[in-house]
Structure formats: C-alpha cells, structure tokens
C-alpha cells in the first residue's frame, strides 16, 4: 500500500462517534468504555459514517448478519449488531414488582452498555432507523428495547425478513412495518413467568436440598418427563416370547417363513415353550413340507413429508447426524445469517430456522417444482403442488415464517461444499434433500405375502420390491436409510408345496422396556406434549444437563440421583407447576397474547395468586434433606461399631458412618423393594494413588466417572477414569472417559494435547476384520441392537460375535 493510500484509508476509518462520547450521558448505564466503542466496529465489519453524508441505520442481532446485510445494502446504510438482547431483568434480584401490575426492572446486560451507546450515537445522525432483529418473540423484545433506548423518534421502523438474501432484505427495507406490541407482551409474559418460578422456587431448594440448585418453569417439567420414563424402565418386567423360523430356498433364492398363527385370520403369540415344542414337532411330523395356501400382491405408495420445522430438523439431525439440539441450532444459525462463499460473497443459505410452519411461499414452491423437473425428470415431480398444513391443534406461534428451506436452488451442497465446515455441509445437505423431496413423486413399493400351511399351522414370508423410488431417491438415499433392500420372493402358486431348506427352529426373545429418551425422542415428546417451543428445546435440554439433574450416557438421558430427588420434591410441593398439561396451557396462553386475544396482565394475575399460596406452603412443608439422617441398621464396614445413616450429598444419597468424624467411612447403596439396603461394592482401579499409595476408587460425579483415593477426605487425589484400551494412534496414551461442554460422554487419549485422538463411543480392544484397526466402538440401535463399529472404515459387527457378548448383556 502506498503512503497516500495509507493516509486515505486511515482517515476514512476514523469514526466521529468517539469524539462525541463525552457529550452523551446514558442514564443509569454507568461509565462507558470508549476503547470498546471505538473497536467494536471492526468486530462487525462496519464502515464509519462519512461526516455530513446522509445514511439510514439498520440494527440486527448478530455481527455476522450485520456483515452480510451491509454488503447487500451498500452505501447509504449503516448496519450495527446488538449482539442479542441488550436489556434483561437484573441477576441479583427478582426485578418484577407483583404489586405494581408486574412491572419489570430492565437493566443493561453486562457488557452491553457500550453497545447501547454506539447504537444511540449512530441513530442520532440517521435519517431512518430500521430495527431488524429476528422475526420471533425474542427478536421483537430486542427491537422494543432498542427503541426504548433511542427515545421517541418518528423515523423508527420494524423490518422482518425470513431469509438473509439480497432480495429478501431489500424487500423488507422497502416495506417496513411497526413494532408489534402483542408479540412483545407475549415475550414479557414468558420472561416474567420464568423469573417468578425460578427466583421463588430455587431459594427453597437451596435451603432444603443443596445450594446452587435451580428450578425452571419448563425445564422442571422436561425433567419430570425423563424421570417418569426412568420409573417405567425400572418397573418393567420382561416377558418371554418365541418365534419360529423355517428356512426356504427356491430357484437360487433363499428366504425365511415365520410362524404366523393357528389360522390365517389372526396372528398368534408364542409365550409358552410347550406350545412352541408342539408346533416344531407337528412341522417335523409333516416332513417339513409347506403348502402354499395364499399369495397376495399389493402395491403400496409412500408420500413425501413436508420441509423441516425446527423440531423436525432437530430430530433428524440427531438421528442421522448425531447432533445435539444445541449443536443443530448453532450450525443452522450460521447457515441462516450468512456464509462467505467464494463466488457469491456473503450469502444466507437457509431461511429462518425457528419456525413451526410446514408451508412454502408460492414463488419458492414454483421454483422448486421447476428445479425437480429439470434435474430429475417429470416422473419424479408430484403431479400437482403438495400443500402441507400443520396438524390440528398446533399453536399459532412462529407459523408466520416458512418451513426451513434453502434460500437459493442455484446453491446446491456440491456448489458450496468448499466453503462450508463439515457440520455446516452435513446440515445444509439434510435441509436441501428434505426440501427437494417434499415436492417429489410418491415412492411405489410392491409387497408380496406368501402364506404357507404346515402341520396344521400357518407360516408367512414377506417380500418387497421398490417399483419406483420417487422422493426416496433424494432424501432417504442421502443419509444412510436409502432404498429398502429388494427382498424378491420366488414365484408361487396356490396349491404348490415346498420343503424347508433345513430344520425349522425357534428363537427366544424378551420384551423390552420403553426406551429411555435420546435427543430426537425427547424433542419429539416435548413437541407433542406442548412443552416449550422449538426455539427453546435446545436450551431446555442443555439446562437440565448443566444443573446435574440429567446425565447423557450412550446417547440416552438418565436422571441423576439429584434429579430424581429434586423432581419428586417439586412434584409434591408444586403439582401445578410440574404438571405437563398446565405447562402446555401456559404456552397456549402465550400464543393467545401474541394474537391479541387475551391481556398479558390477566394471565400473570391468574398465575400468581395460586402460586403465591403454594410457595408459602412449600416453605413450611417441603422436606429438608440437609438435616435428614435416615437410620438403616446397617453396621459400618470400617469401624464395625458405628451404624450407617443415609445422608444427602452433591451427587445424591450415600451411607455415612454415625461415628463421623472419627470414622469417615462412606458407601454407595441401593434400596430394594422390600425396604432392605444393599451396599454396592466399590470398583477399584488397577493403579494406586500417586500421593499416598492407597487404592483408587471409581466414582461418578457431575462430569462423568473419575478415580478418587479411598482415603478421601484425608487424601483428596483425583484422576481421570482411564480405560484399559491403548490409543492406536500415538501408542503412548490410553483412552480416558470425558464429558463435553454439552454433557455428552466421549473418550479421548490421555496423551492429549500431544494426541487428539477421540471417540464418541466406548472403545473396545477388538481388531476390525475389514481394515485391521485395533479398536472398535460400541454402538446400539433399535434396528441392529448392540454392535461394534470401526471408527475408521465404519465396518460393523454384532456384539454377539465378539468376546464382549456376555459383558454387554450384563450392562
């Protein structure tokens, strides 16, 4: 750069804002960080306004969106980011005056004073001010708060756009709207309700259970859903049942016939081994000769499903990509706000990702259908546009926005893959495929059922052939579900007979308990029960894990001992707050406030009156676990003279000796249904304590398993939980159990940071039969059961074919 260029550049980038800071006072906002105000423009990629030049101001939520929109609007506009909310209730006190019509005390969020000042300074010289936070309740609140800080200005407008594209942004600027009071009232109500529940119930938990605990209006109900499922799992008594299999072969094609029942009209259950043996004996007596009594062929058509809503995106991303709800929303936010593309520059790739809607705008729908016809042919296009509607009874909130879709069909995943991270590309491809599939033709499958009779018993063989893949070519094929394997049965005619190709055998099965929730099924349950909103699911799931109420193991949610106890106490003391139906009703009321159908103050008053009485009752009647010591009549294993009492600690209940502090013996235990106690034997590590030489005990804490010295609290040495599996990459470290910031267990090399090798599944010393990698990870799915999968080539082997079969069953 030449000397002249440097001078011009330096002059043009010096903002005039800082000079005026001394002349501006922000009431109640304290001292201003001048350096932060001066440098914040560089974070957002903004240009300083040229002195004397007229401009319009656009305020958005995020710096990345500010960069994208600035490039679209060009000169004559200044774009600044608020970085989310600028004001909120104070952290140190309730901030809601219930006696003064629930008035809120809103204060600048920590670190946002300089941001508020900057927006005020830019607004002073702006001709028009466009408030463009996200088009939802929270975005409306941000817009309102910014408007309040700017004071009464006639030229303040609200702009809404569903996609961060040049066309959408310019259209929104050309057709501004006004601030939506009803939508803001809905957000205020939600915030006040959350604050009242959290700030009024949490102190009771601090006093009765443990300091630092919290309760939430929605998160506590989500915890209840998980704890109740755990209770179902624990109470479940498995029932034995059997299946009978007859191997068949004809014309070089092998298949299997399964026992159906005593007649062709009703499927029979095999619960008695005596009955199974009788059927096998009857088949053997008939010489394993099966007569064909019926052959039916039916054409089945499968329709595509609508484009993604927020919850469906979270579910599919969890099932197909292994993403948590929080990870999905973080990646989707980036795709929405804008990606720097090599050829196109900054570009928002998807429409707004917080939506309950399944519809597509007519213009986009026409473009989609034209794209399908051109790219895949007329046969793959639905005969007429498919108009999706939301299921009956769904709430109104967020239905104003389209379903999640790509903003441009000219930007396929292949076109942009070089500019996206792995997570961004995977999620964008998922959204792309789902959107295209939504307007494609049906999948046509020919199904064949052959019915056999043998020894007075009915058997059936099922076959299916994909006659025409239709939409499945795009969506399912892209993420591993793919086409169904063609299972073509040989041709049979009624009256024909065939002999079994081997002995007919029975298999033993046991009924399974209802599955524990994973990311996808929990999001689905929250949606179906009307708990929270899609935009809050990620935060709900994250909160109950961060509080230590729920643990995530092997992609399943388990309530911790703390979570079980807190949930039980809350249900007993606050039955209405913890009621699923009541929580869903509150969400409906928030929708009605947004629609202007009910006044927000009435909703708050109707909630507060009974809640206040419940609070007073809970303060008096809720059990105090801190003071509770339950005798067990179990003798201390260490001192032999003391008796174990049940005490409550940060990780749940435990046995503690009555002779404490002289005897520091503690033990984990479990209580049987008959009321008796069983001390759980301690699991010791192979290594000894590096400090005192005593044994190391395997413990479980907030962040997963770890090793602690058996002499605790005299010796407080703690070490990571190390598996007896060496790292095949560095050949120095061993795998250790760790927990990610989002609560997910993973296994990383103990030689970190020298070795970054890590696995999301528990490693086992088992050599991959395909590529020879010495370590495989445990996997479990409904379809394939338990198995080992190679982290390198993804080769999978059933757990029953490994030395870990018995161990896995025991677990």
Q: How many Cβ atoms sit within 10 Å of the Cβ of residue 703? A: 15
Distance CA 96, CA 90 (A): 10
| Contacts of the segment 566-569: beta carbons below 8 A, 24+ positions apart | 566/205, 566/209, 566/213, 566/215, 566/223, 567/220, 567/223, 567/224, 567/227, 568/227, 569/205, 569/208, 569/209, 569/622, 569/623
Sign of the CA dihedral 315, 317, 322, 326? negative
d(CA 136, CA 334): 17
User: Which is it for strands 289-302 and 339-341: parallel, antiparallel or unpaired?
Assistant: unpaired
Catalytic residue among 157, 336, 352, 549: 352
CA distance 35 to 501: 84
394 contacts 356 by C-beta, under 8 angstroms: yes
Which residues on neighbouring strands pair with residue 461, listed in sequence order? 450
Respond yes or no on whether the N-terminal peptide bond of residue 753 is cis (omega within 30° of 0).
yes
Is 352 a known active-site residue?
A: yes
- CB 361: neighbour CB atoms within 10 A? 14
Contact 510, 240 (CB under 8 A): yes
Kindly report each contact of residues 752-760 with a partner whose C-beta sits within 8 Å and lies 24 or more positions away, as own/partner.
754/730, 755/727, 755/729, 755/730, 757/727, 757/728, 757/729, 757/730, 759/735, 759/791, 760/322
**What CA–CA distance (Å, rounded) separates 339 from 344?**
10
758 and 749 Cβ atoms separated by less than 8 Å: yes
Cα–Cα distance, 733 to 727 (Å, whole number): 6
Asked if residues 475 and 450 have their Cβ atoms less than 8 Å apart, the reply is: no
* Residues annotated catalytic, as ranges: 352
């Amino acid at each position: 750069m030449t000397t002249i260029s440097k001078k011009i550049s330096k002059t043009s980038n010096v903002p005039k804002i800082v000079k005026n800071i001394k002349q501006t006072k922000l009431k109640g906002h304290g001292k201003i960080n001048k350096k932060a105000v001066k440098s914040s423009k560089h974070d957002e990629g903004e240009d300083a306004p040229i002195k004397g030049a007229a401009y319009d101001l656009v305020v958005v939520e995020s710096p990345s969106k500010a960069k994208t929109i600035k490039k679209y609007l060009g000169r004559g506009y200044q774009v600044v980011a608020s970085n989310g909310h600028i004001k909120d209730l104070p952290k140190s006190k309730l901030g809601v005056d219930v006696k003064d019509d629930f008035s809120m005390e809103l204060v600048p969020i920590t670190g946002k004073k300089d941001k508020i000042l900057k927006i005020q300074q830019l607004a002073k010289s702006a001709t028009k001010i466009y408030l463009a936070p996200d088009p939802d309740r929270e975005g409306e609140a941000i817009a309102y708060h910014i408007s309040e800080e700017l004071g009464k200005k006639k030229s303040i407008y609200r702009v809404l756009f569903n996609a961060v594209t040049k066309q959408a942004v310019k259209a929104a600027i050309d057709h501004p709207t006004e601030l939506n009071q009803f939508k803001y009232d809905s957000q205020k109500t939600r915030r006040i309700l959350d604050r009242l529940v959290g700030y009024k119930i949490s102190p009771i938990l601090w006093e009765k259970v443990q300091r630092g605990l919290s309760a939430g209006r929605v998160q506590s109900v989500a915890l209840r859903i998980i704890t109740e499922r755990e209770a179902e799992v624990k109470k479940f008594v498995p029932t034995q049942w059997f299946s009978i299999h007859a191997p068949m072969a004809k014309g070089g094609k092998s298949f299997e016939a399964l026992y159906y029942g005593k007649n062709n009209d009703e499927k029979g259950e095999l619960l008695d081994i005596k009955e199974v043996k009788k059927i096998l004996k009857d088949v053997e007596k008939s010489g394993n000769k099966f007569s064909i009594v019926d052959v039916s062929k039916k054409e089945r058509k499968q329709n595509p499903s609508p484009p993604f809503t927020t919850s469906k995106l979270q579910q599919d991303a969890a099932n197909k990509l292994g993403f948590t709800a929080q990870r999905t929303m973080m990646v989707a936010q980036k795709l929405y706000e804008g990606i720097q593309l090599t050829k196109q520059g900054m570009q928002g790739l998807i429409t707004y990702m917080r939506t309950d809607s399944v519809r597509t705008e007519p213009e986009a729908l026409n473009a989609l259908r034209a794209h399908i016809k051109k790219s895949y042919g007329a046969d793959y296009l639905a005969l007429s546009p498919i108009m999706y509607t939301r299921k009956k009874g769904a709430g109104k909130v967020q239905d104003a926005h389209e379903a999640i879709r790509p903003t441009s069909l000219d930007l396929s995943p292949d076109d942009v893959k070089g500019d996206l991270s792995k997570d961004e590309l995977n999620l964008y491809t998922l959204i792309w495929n789902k959107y295209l599939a939504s307007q494609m033709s049906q999948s046509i499958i020919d199904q064949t059922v052959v019915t056999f009779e043998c020894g007075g018993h009915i058997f059936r063989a099922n076959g299916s052939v994909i006659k025409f893949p239709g939409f499945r070519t795009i969506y399912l094929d892209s993420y591993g579900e793919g086409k169904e394997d063609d299972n073509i049965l040989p041709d049979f005619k009624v009256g024909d007979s065939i002999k079994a190709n081997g002995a007919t055998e029975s298999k033993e099965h046991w009924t399974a308990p209802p599955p524990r929730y994973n990311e996808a099924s929990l999001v689905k349950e929250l949606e179906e029960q009307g708990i929270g909103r899609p935009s809050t699911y990620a935060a709900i799931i994250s909160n109950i894990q961060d509080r230590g109420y729920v643990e995530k193991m092997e992609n399943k949610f388990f309530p911790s001992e703390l979570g079980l106890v807190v949930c039980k106490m809350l249900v007993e003391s606050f039955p209405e707050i913890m009621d699923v139906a009541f929580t869903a009703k509150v969400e409906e009321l928030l929708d009605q406030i947004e629609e202007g159908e009910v006044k927000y103050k009435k909703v708050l008053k109707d909630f507060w009156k009974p809640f206040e009485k419940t609070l007073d009752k809970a303060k008096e009647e809720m059990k105090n676990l801190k003071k509770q010591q339950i005798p067990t009549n179990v003798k201390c294993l260490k001192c032999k003279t003391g008796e174990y009492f049940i005490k409550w600690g940060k990780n749940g209940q435990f046995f503690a000796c009555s002779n404490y502090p002289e005897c520091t013996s503690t033990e984990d235990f479990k209580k049987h249904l008959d009321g008796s106690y069983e001390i759980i034997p301690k699991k010791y590590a192979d290594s000894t304590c590096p400090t005192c030489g005593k044994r190391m005990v395997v413990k479980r804490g907030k962040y997963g398993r770890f090793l602690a010295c058996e002499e605790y609290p005299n010796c407080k040495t703690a070490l990571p939980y190390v598996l007896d599996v060496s790292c095949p990459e560095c050949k120095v470290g061993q795998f250790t159990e760790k927990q990610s910031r989002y609560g997910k267990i993973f296994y990383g090399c103990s030689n970190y940071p020298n070795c970054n090798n890590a696995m999301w599944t528990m490693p086992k010393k088992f050599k991959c039969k395909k590529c020879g990698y010495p370590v495989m990870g445990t996997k479990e799915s409904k379809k394939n059961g338990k198995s080992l999968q190679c982290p390198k080539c993804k080769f999978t082997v059933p757990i029953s074919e490994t030395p870990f079969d018995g161990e896995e069953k025991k677990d």
